[in-house]
Structure 1
Amino acid sequence: MGTSLQTVQALAPGQNLNAYITAVNSFSVLTAEEEKQLAEDLYYRENLEAARRLVMAHLRFVVHIAKSYAGYGLSQADLVQEGNVGLMKAVKRFNPEKGVRLVSFAVHWIKAEIHEFILRNWRIVKIATTKAQRKLFFNLRGQKKKLSWLTNNEAKAIAEDLNVEVKHVHEMEGRLSAFDTAFDAGADDDDDTAFQAPANYLEDKRFDPSTLLEDADWSENSVTGLELALEELDDRSRDILQQRWLSEEKATLHDLAAKYGVSAERIRQLEKNAMKKMRAHMEA
């Protein structure tokens, strides 16, 4: 392998993707025996040169995977770069004693990094945060390439296949069909299109007099209710809550335990009971 690591860095995907792909395709593919020897050198002897050769030999595989995510409107170079991060993580964790080729082990790590990058950058507003939503995002988007709006039967079939609820399939379909828009009108928008910007029709109710009055009334009632609830407590319980929650320098359980000559656990119990009494009084 004559190409150095510095050469690959100079041919980073972001600078010249075609040159980068040409370079990584020129690296020799490792035989099973070569790969096992390098993996053992890394795993048992922490040989960094072995790690470099393992990474370099599999860069072409990352490019191949990254191409399958070309439909998300993101830079192919960025996808490759993220996939390379996954490859390096896989090489670091690869155990040659498991009896599998590195490529089979690395595919999970490569796709995981690319998935994270897509979810962070595909939309301004995140559309998939839970594990189930992420599964739906990638599987449903692949199916939507060949489907129009899903019928109830199609949505049910997808839900059963992915082990999620049908309503979540419809919800994700709506998110995928939506699009981001700027809040203000663009500099090039004319009078016929500028009015469509959300800034021209979304109402800011923060300074509405009725809303301000309602908030002030709620705040006043809350403070009054809190004061009345505190008056219902015995002196010790009231002092514990004031010291723990209403003072600028809040006391610890141990501080109050020393003050009243009891255990910290007893102070915690008194605090819990006092909070329960106050909540009941304020909800009455």
Structure 2
Amino acid sequence: MTNTAQSALVPMGNRGLGLGFSGNLGNIDAYISAVNRLPMLTHEEEVSLARALREKNDLNAAQKLVMSHLRLVVSIARGYLGYGLPHADLIQEGNIGLMKAVKRFDPNQGVRLVSYAMHWIKAEMHEYILKNWRLVKVATTKAQRKLFFNLRSNKVGLDAMSPTQIDEMAKMLDVKREEVIEMETRLSGRDIALEAPTDDDGEDKFSPIAYLSSDSQEPTRVLEAEQRDRLHSEGLETALSKLDPRSRRIIEARWLANDDGSGATLHTLAEEFGVSAERIRQIESAALKKMKGALAAYV
């Protein structure tokens, strides 16, 4: 099916979920009523249209095949309403699966389109449910996906399953009981926002982020802070003690006099000691090198 055919079938505003209906259907109930009135195809008509699409790329044939099976999508979507997702969205995803099925359908295989399309329709709905049912993915492998949907459809009620029920479910689905327990735990959980809603001014609002430990108490951060404090106090004093009085005076005036780093200039210290600015720079460089060696024990 070409892009032109797909553009004629995919969502377009409020035109009956974008499947070529004329007029404004208004809501999901009107859409369902409309698709249920669409005529169904006989086996001969279905084969003829499918061959026209396959052999001649007849886009009108493709649309007729899709339109005649929209009620199938609606019927399948009803079975997934228990996941709490919008009915219209489920139908929309199912329609995409139906279009994929029509595109790939081979009338020469002797299978009716309704049987072939069910796989594609359910596959699209399953993908949509797994992506939108929880913020955190609950089933990431093929086996987990199968367990997810089977457990949802076979579990009775909302209460936790008993050990006997778990064993029966594991036997029926041919999986380990631990896998059933894990998936049931995921299904029974719910999403909680890490931060409280911004529009909630109540004093008793729950915000899980407030109960998280502070980064400042993380062991590595604590050790780094302690090492930094030792370097600033004990280490710096030890390094300065290794210098002669003139070198210490130059380092303190240049680097330790002000917190903003605006220490004395080379020319100011040159006048104080009666030497050139270049000589002050040489003394400073040698002093810093000597201090670096003394500070190595604290790093």
TM-score, length of structure 1 as denominator length: 0.68
2:208 is equivalent to residue 208 of structure 1: no
Q: What RMSD over aligned residues (CA atoms) do the two structures have, in Å?
A: 2.4
Which sections of structure 2, spanning at least 5 residues, go unmatched?
1-7, 19-24, 226-299
Aligned to 1:104: 115
Q: Could you tell me which amino acid in structure 1 is paired with residue 53 of structure 2?
A: L
* Shift in Å, 1:188: 2.9
Question: Which residue, 160, 185, 188 being the options, matches 2:200?
Answer: 188
Inter-partner Cα distance in structure 2 for 1:19 and 1:69: 20
* Native 8 Å contact 1:135 1:162 kept in 2: no
SS of aligned partner of 2:17 = coil
Aligned to 1:116: 127
Question: Which residue, 134, 138, 141 being the options, matches 1:130?
Answer: 141
* Shift in Å, 1:144: 2.8
Aligned to 1:75: 86
Aligned to 1:11: 16
Specify whether residues 128 and 15 from structure 1 end up closer, same or farther in structure 2 by C-alpha distance, changes over 3 A only.
Answer: farther
Q: Could you tell me which amino acid in structure 1 is paired with residue 127 of structure 2?
A: E
Inter-partner Cα distance in structure 1 for 2:214 and 2:43: 65
Inter-partner Cα distance in structure 1 for 2:217 and 2:66: 60
* Native 8 Å contact 1:24 1:60 kept in 2: yes
Q: Could you tell me which amino acid in structure 2 is paired with residue 178 of structure 1?
A: G
Which sections of structure 1, spanning at least 5 residues, go unmatched?
217-284
Q: Could you tell me which amino acid in structure 2 is paired with residue 79 of structure 1?
A: L
Inter-partner Cα distance in structure 1 for 2:101 and 2:184: 33
Aligned to 2:153: 142
Inter-partner Cα distance in structure 1 for 2:224 and 2:78: 53
SS of aligned partner of 2:157 = coil
Larger Rg: 2
Question: Which residue, 23, 32, 47 being the options, matches 1:21?
Answer: 32
2:172 is equivalent to residue 161 of structure 1: yes
Question: Which residue, 51, 54, 57 being the options, matches 1:43?
Answer: 54
* Native 8 Å contact 1:55 1:87 kept in 2: yes
* Shift in Å, 1:115: 0.3
Aligned to 1:175: 186
| Cα deviation code 1:191-220 (max 9, x no counterpart) | 23x2x3202212243x4362236689xxxx
* Native 8 Å contact 1:132 1:164 kept in 2: no
Inter-partner Cα distance in structure 2 for 1:215 and 1:74: 49
* Shift in Å, 1:98: 1.0
Q: Could you tell me which amino acid in structure 2 is paired with residue 137 of structure 1?
A: F
| Cα deviation code 1:20-61 (max 9, x no counterpart) | 112212211001111111111112222111111000100111
* Number of aligned residues: 209
Matches within 5 A, 1:244-255: none
* Shift in Å, 1:158: 1.6
Inter-partner Cα distance in structure 1 for 2:166 and 2:28: 39
2:104 is equivalent to residue 93 of structure 1: yes
Aligned to 1:226: none
Aligned to 1:245: none
Q: Could you tell me which amino acid in structure 2 is paired with residue 94 of structure 1?
A: F
* Shift in Å, 1:77: 0.6
* Native 8 Å contact 1:123 1:180 kept in 2: yes
Stretches (4+) displaced over 4 A: 213-216
SS of aligned partner of 1:12 = helix
TM-score, length of structure 2 as denominator length: 0.64
Inter-partner Cα distance in structure 2 for 1:18 and 1:204: 52
